[in-house]
């Protein structure tokens, strides 16, 4: 599961997600990718499930890149605990994504296989996504 080895601060504030992605919104490595259409928090578990779905469908051919990393700690207080007494303990890590952010890229497989593999990956994620292709991609 993706998570940082070490963090400077154990707990962070929630923050706000507004506007579109300013970086990470273009294909950089592969010819195919999935791009988010809405904002959300994506957990390390969801990214791992998506990665496994892509790898299995591509039969371990080609190459994939995960363009996001969950480095934001999420805290949760135990069940049936009264209000107050400080912030809860860290429970996991998420990555906040905004519309336009590329999440996964793929390369080295035919168009049809890449499209289906990334469709399966998108089903594992909590956001609506769009399949994108490099503008200079020419199908062999």
Q: What is the pLDDT of residue 39?
A: 96
68-97: per-residue pLDDT in tens?
Answer: 999 999 999 999 999 999 999 999 999 999
pLDDT at 139 > cutoff 80 = no
22-53: per-residue pLDDT in tens?
Answer: 999 999 999 999 999 999 999 999 999 999 99
102: part of which helix (H) or strand (E)?
strand 102-107
Q: What is the mean pLDDT of the chain?
A: 94
Cα 20–26–29 angle (5° rounding)? 145
Residue % of the chain over a pLDDT of 90:
93
Domain 39-77+88-133, CATH? 3.90.1170.10
Confidence tier at 129 by pLDDT (50, 70, 90): very high
Q: What is the pLDDT of residue 140?
A: 57
Q: What is the pLDDT of residue 136?
A: 87
Pair type for strands 63-66 and 102-107: antiparallel
Residue pair 36/129 in contact by the 8 Å Cβ criterion: yes
Q: What is the pLDDT of residue 1?
A: 82
* Residue the block writes with tokens 């707990």: 11
- What residue segments make up the domains of the chain, in order of their start? 39-77+88-133
Instruction: For residues 82 and 69, give the distance between their C-alpha atoms in angstroms, rounded to a whole number.
Output: 33
Q: What is the pLDDT of residue 121?
A: 97
């Amino acid at each position: 599961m993706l998570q940082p080895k070490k963090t400077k601060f154990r707990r962070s504030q929630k923050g706000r997600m507004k506007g579109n992605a300013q970086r990470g919104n273009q294909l950089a490595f592969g010819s195919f990718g999935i791009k988010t259409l809405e904002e959300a928090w994506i957990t390390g578990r969801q990214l791992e499930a998506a990665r496994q779905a892509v790898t299995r469908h591509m039969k371990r051919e080609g190459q994939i890149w995960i363009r996001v990393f969950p480095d934001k700690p999420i805290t949760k207080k135990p069940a049936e605990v009264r209000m107050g007494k400080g912030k809860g303990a860290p429970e996991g890590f998420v990555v906040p994504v905004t519309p336009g952010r590329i999440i996964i890229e793929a390369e080295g497989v035919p168009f049809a296989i890449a499209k289906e593999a990334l469709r399966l990956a998108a089903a594992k994620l909590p956001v609506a996504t769009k399949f994108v292709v490099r503008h200079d991609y020419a199908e062999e």
